[in-house]
């Protein structure tokens, strides 16, 4: 799923989190990941 790949990169670039955290975020579905990112904002 390319959406998860993009979400993982966005999370990594935006929050500069460790690879472990980025890997966990990539497990979320695309839409849920977007909601999660907006919630953290």
pLDDT digits (tens, 9 = 90+) for 1-41: 455 566 666 666 655 555 555 555 555 566 776 777 787 76
> What's the pLDDT at 18?
54
Q: Alpha carbon 8 to chain centroid distance?
A: 4
> What's the pLDDT at 35?
78
Rounded to two decimals, what is the model's pTM?
Answer: 0.27
Distances (CA, A) of 26 to 7, 13, 14, 23, 40: 7, 13, 14, 5, 16
> What's the pLDDT at 17?
52
Domain assignments of the chain as residue spans, ordered by start: 2-40
> What's the pLDDT at 15?
58
């Amino acid at each position: 799923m390319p959406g998860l790949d993009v979400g993982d990169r966005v999370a990594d670039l935006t929050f500069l989190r460790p690879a472990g955290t980025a890997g966990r975020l990539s497990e979320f579905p695309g839409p849920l990941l977007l909601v999660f990112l907006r919630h953290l904002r």
